[in-house]
A and B are shown apart, each in its own frame.
Chain A
């Protein structure tokens, strides 16, 4: 490379460490998973799902129409008659079996997740899939212990759950939805995201191999219209949605006045607050993980950084240096930190919001990095000089973009941190224990990470305040949306 200095020692050249994809066998075309088998869609329509890192098509998946959704809901209803009455300990064994099979095939699912969604393999391998299996294992154990979950209440399943999940954590969101629903004795019709349907379809096949009775899990692929048909279907008893606040509001309106139960896990614009006494090196890693995990396609991403004024310059300098060490590119490369943006639409949205940040007067920083020529990629980005009213400080970007602001006093930090309609998550870094608890009390957020960030666990409830939605997923609290409680 540097011919000008031939005498100098050879530069290190990067050799990628690419995960093999031979474990994944894809069909050219997938039907809808209804009643334990793939069915040709009556809509006769198909969508192509693309690898966002290469723009190459991976497979065609069916686009379920209203009649297809109806068939899926009916299948789920029929299955509920037996599944809902199955002793909890038997339901538990199916779920344990699914958890074990997911562990057995973790590598295959991780690779497929990365191929279809663009997330770095080290994340799908080390974060997504282990959590997916853990979720099924955790809720399996609740299936025959529901009487102990909520004192004074006799639990009963609701019936058919219509579940709509996003493209940022396709398998993990499936696990968050399906595991508690099944444990509680419900059956499900799940619609994966339009751009990431493949792991859900592989999961469908896995449930058949696990011997799960037909109709207990049904997967209808498609876009927004498929989701709307599922939400509207009168045979659905419970709607669970994870996605944007905008769509969440439409769903809440669609469900208004019907007997359907609803939980919403919506957008966020999480504050990440760094006090001057924070352990700086750890905090830098926390901030990096907070915003660049999964390319920032994370509803709880720490996208608004508040640094105490006294250390702001030093902290931002360090952050910029750390940014330059991030490896952006091929998601299948085991060393990649930031993979592909999920879709061209999302790339446009990120680009538009970043442009607005520049236009509104914030100062942009991007480390020098070469992005792959094909595929959808965006360089890690920082903004300094951001004010509370800037769009990049108010709107969810859902990309690798961090808006940095400063504060002087804890009261000011709280006021700025709470200054959005959202309330999903928040982060605090300080070595003073009493300050952590003081902050945790005041931050309007469903999850507060103190001296850590983006930690998830099946036993830990997740969900937001205000326009980030209502209801919790995970833990004992995550069972409640799938149960009807009859007072004893």
Chain B
């Protein structure tokens, strides 16, 4: 009889897979209550390290071409597709049937491919020339806001995560993600997909663990330029927004209800636009 080699589920920070510096982990149970694994319980210091990694990686990532970022997102889609069976089994921990789990993986792959194509196009839709008076060249273009803190939804653990990470990073932002606390395993496997998809270290950092403890630190972190609350919902949003206000950090609010499977409602170039700054450049024309 051969004994299985089990996977240790760790954090994903700066391209590496550390345990929590706190030395803590927590049990992950399936719907029957059976513990199927343990996940790292990220601490405030892990969050700080993740934000630092994201900040460090941001200029380089934003400096890539949109074409290149698009190719890398496409490569992530390939890596997720390749791990479909692993994702399916991990999603089943949350109570999905095999068919439901497979559908979620397929949707996640499709969403990544959809956003991959925006890499070298969204600037053309979101920005424009401005016909100002006088002899001036005047152009408004979007550029990434910087580091984005993403609160991923509890469910769908993979599709929700992918649906928010993709629009954030395609424009050149880097991300610190608080993964589903109850179903963290797909997020860790997604990190492994990222690590093999030529995504530069630090562009996406994923923390598993006690969200309620981490959210206040994320929301008030002065080096976060935006917080994505789509996966958080409206309950407790006031605290997040009030904490973010100390550094005028914008919070991207969720709709009242989210249908993650609806392509019309859950994916949009305007979701990319939620995490950019519009920069307008003037220059005179003349001899």
Q: A256 to B237, alpha carbons, bound, how many Å?
A: 7
A452 near B245: Cβ-Cβ < 8 Å: no
A476 near B128: Cβ-Cβ < 8 Å: yes
- Interface positions of A from 254 to 309, Cβ below 8 Å from B: 255-258, 264, 266
| Number of residues of chain A lying within 8 A (CB) of chain B | 49
B282 near A257: Cβ-Cβ < 8 Å: no
B33 located at the interface, meaning its Cβ lies under 8 Å from any Cβ of chain A in the complex: no
| A residues in contact with B128, CB < 8 Å | 475-476
A460 near B284: Cβ-Cβ < 8 Å: no
A461 near B280: Cβ-Cβ < 8 Å: yes
Choose one: B239, B241, B269, B281; the contact of A440 (CB below 8 Å).
B281
- Interface positions of B from 232 to 287, Cβ below 8 Å from A: 234, 237-242, 244-248, 250, 264-265, 268-270, 277-284
| A residues in contact with B125, CB < 8 Å | 151
Q: A452-B136, A475-B140 are in contact. Are A257 and B238 (CB under 8 A)?
A: yes
B100 located at the interface, meaning its Cβ lies under 8 Å from any Cβ of chain A in the complex: no
Q: A463 to B125, alpha carbons, bound, how many Å?
A: 19
| B residues in contact with A457, CB < 8 Å | 130, 132-134, 136, 138
Q: B128 — nearest CB in chain A belongs to which residue? A: A476
Q: A475 to B264, alpha carbons, bound, how many Å?
A: 27
Q: A150 to B242, alpha carbons, bound, how many Å?
A: 30
| B residues in contact with A476, CB < 8 Å | 128
B283 near A460: Cβ-Cβ < 8 Å: no
| B residues in contact with A450, CB < 8 Å | 281-283
Q: A446-B280, A466-B225 are in contact. Are A134 and B250 (CB under 8 A)?
A: no
Q: A476 to B273, alpha carbons, bound, how many Å?
A: 14
| B residues in contact with A465, CB < 8 Å | 145, 277
A447 located at the interface, meaning its Cβ lies under 8 Å from any Cβ of chain B in the complex: yes
Q: A67 to B280, alpha carbons, bound, how many Å?
A: 41
B23 located at the interface, meaning its Cβ lies under 8 Å from any Cβ of chain A in the complex: no
A460 near B138: Cβ-Cβ < 8 Å: yes
A152 located at the interface, meaning its Cβ lies under 8 Å from any Cβ of chain B in the complex: yes
Q: A249 — nearest CB in chain B belongs to which residue? A: B245
A314 located at the interface, meaning its Cβ lies under 8 Å from any Cβ of chain B in the complex: no
A257 near B281: Cβ-Cβ < 8 Å: no
B140 near A461: Cβ-Cβ < 8 Å: yes
Q: Which of A134, A252, A469, A472 counts the most chain B CB atoms within 10 A?
A: A252
A110 located at the interface, meaning its Cβ lies under 8 Å from any Cβ of chain B in the complex: no
How would residues 398 to 426 of chain A score, 1 for a CB under 8 Å from any chain B CB and 0 otherwise?
Answer: 00000000000000000000000101000
Q: A152 to B277, alpha carbons, bound, how many Å?
A: 21
A249 near B248: Cβ-Cβ < 8 Å: yes
A460 near B247: Cβ-Cβ < 8 Å: no
Q: A60 to B180, alpha carbons, bound, how many Å?
A: 58
- How many contacting A-B pairs (Cβ < 8 A)? 116
A467 located at the interface, meaning its Cβ lies under 8 Å from any Cβ of chain B in the complex: yes
Q: A151-B125, A152-B269 are in contact. Are A252 and B130 (CB under 8 A)?
A: no
| B residues in contact with A421, CB < 8 Å | 247
A5 located at the interface, meaning its Cβ lies under 8 Å from any Cβ of chain B in the complex: no
Write the nearest CB–CB distance from A72 to chain B, whole angstroms.
Answer: 26
B225 near A477: Cβ-Cβ < 8 Å: no
Q: A440 to B277, alpha carbons, bound, how many Å?
A: 13
Choose one: A245, A441, A475; the contact of B248 (CB below 8 Å).
A245
B282 near A447: Cβ-Cβ < 8 Å: yes
Q: A445 — nearest CB in chain B belongs to which residue? A: B279
Q: A152-B268, A463-B278 are in contact. Are A256 and B133 (CB under 8 A)?
A: no
| A residues in contact with B234, CB < 8 Å | 257
| A residues in contact with B136, CB < 8 Å | 452, 455, 457
Q: A250 — nearest CB in chain B belongs to which residue? A: B245
A164 located at the interface, meaning its Cβ lies under 8 Å from any Cβ of chain B in the complex: no
B284 near A451: Cβ-Cβ < 8 Å: yes
Q: A470 to B227, alpha carbons, bound, how many Å?
A: 13
Choose one: B238, B268, B280; the contact of A487 (CB below 8 Å).
B268
Write the nearest CB–CB distance from B72 to chain A, whole angstroms.
Answer: 21
Q: B140 — nearest CB in chain A belongs to which residue? A: A461
| B residues in contact with A364, CB < 8 Å | none
Q: B222 — nearest CB in chain A belongs to which residue? A: A421
How would residues 141 to 160 of chain B score, 1 for a CB under 8 Å from any chain A CB and 0 otherwise?
Answer: 00101000000000000000
B248 near A466: Cβ-Cβ < 8 Å: yes
A436 located at the interface, meaning its Cβ lies under 8 Å from any Cβ of chain B in the complex: yes
Q: A470 to B247, alpha carbons, bound, how many Å?
A: 12
Write the nearest CB–CB distance from A239 to chain B, whole angstroms.
Answer: 13
Q: B126 — nearest CB in chain A belongs to which residue? A: A477
Q: A207 to B237, alpha carbons, bound, how many Å?
A: 39
A452 near B284: Cβ-Cβ < 8 Å: yes
Write the nearest CB–CB distance from A477 to chain B, whole angstroms.
Answer: 5
Write the nearest CB–CB distance from A458 to chain B, whole angstroms.
Answer: 8
| A residues in contact with B242, CB < 8 Å | 252-253, 256-257
B132 near A451: Cβ-Cβ < 8 Å: no
How would residues 447 to 487 of chain A score, 1 for a CB under 8 Å from any chain B CB and 0 otherwise?
Answer: 11111100101011111011111101001110000000101
Q: A256-B245, A264-B248 are in contact. Are A448 and B279 (CB under 8 A)?
A: yes
Write the nearest CB–CB distance from A13 to chain B, whole angstroms.
Answer: 36
Q: A153 to B247, alpha carbons, bound, how many Å?
A: 31
Q: A320 to B225, alpha carbons, bound, how many Å?
A: 39
A487 near B265: Cβ-Cβ < 8 Å: yes
Write the nearest CB–CB distance from A454 to chain B, whole angstroms.
Answer: 10
Q: Which of A152, A441, A446, A477 counts the most chain B CB atoms within 10 A?
A: A477
Q: A427 — nearest CB in chain B belongs to which residue? A: B282
Write the nearest CB–CB distance from A428 to chain B, whole angstroms.
Answer: 9
Q: A134-B133, A477-B140 are in contact. Are A257 and B241 (CB under 8 A)?
A: yes
| B residues in contact with A151, CB < 8 Å | 125
Choose one: A249, A446, A463; the contact of B246 (CB below 8 Å).
A249
B133 near A452: Cβ-Cβ < 8 Å: no
B248 near A469: Cβ-Cβ < 8 Å: yes
Q: A421 to B248, alpha carbons, bound, how many Å?
A: 10
Q: A257 — nearest CB in chain B belongs to which residue? A: B238
Write the nearest CB–CB distance from B101 to chain A, whole angstroms.
Answer: 27
A357 located at the interface, meaning its Cβ lies under 8 Å from any Cβ of chain B in the complex: no
Q: A256-B238, A457-B138 are in contact. Are A440 and B279 (CB under 8 A)?
A: yes
| B residues in contact with A255, CB < 8 Å | 241
Q: A205 to B250, alpha carbons, bound, how many Å?
A: 37
B277 near A153: Cβ-Cβ < 8 Å: no
A375 located at the interface, meaning its Cβ lies under 8 Å from any Cβ of chain B in the complex: no
Q: A456 — nearest CB in chain B belongs to which residue? A: B132
Q: B269 — nearest CB in chain A belongs to which residue? A: A152
Q: A446-B278, A450-B283, A455-B136 are in contact. List 5 more A-B contacts (CB 8 A).
A: A252-B245, A450-B281, A461-B280, A470-B250, A477-B140
12 example contacts (A-B, Cβ-Cβ < 8 A) are as follows A153-B270, A252-B242, A253-B242, A257-B241, A264-B248, A450-B283, A451-B283, A457-B138, A459-B132, A461-B130, A470-B250, A477-B140
**Interface residues of B, Cβ cutoff 8 Å to A:** 125, 128, 130-134, 136, 138, 140, 143, 145, 225, 234, 237-242, 244-248, 250, 264-265, 268-270, 277-284
List the 6 closest A-B pairs by CB distance, nearest first: A257-B238, A256-B241, A252-B245, A457-B132, A256-B242, A459-B130
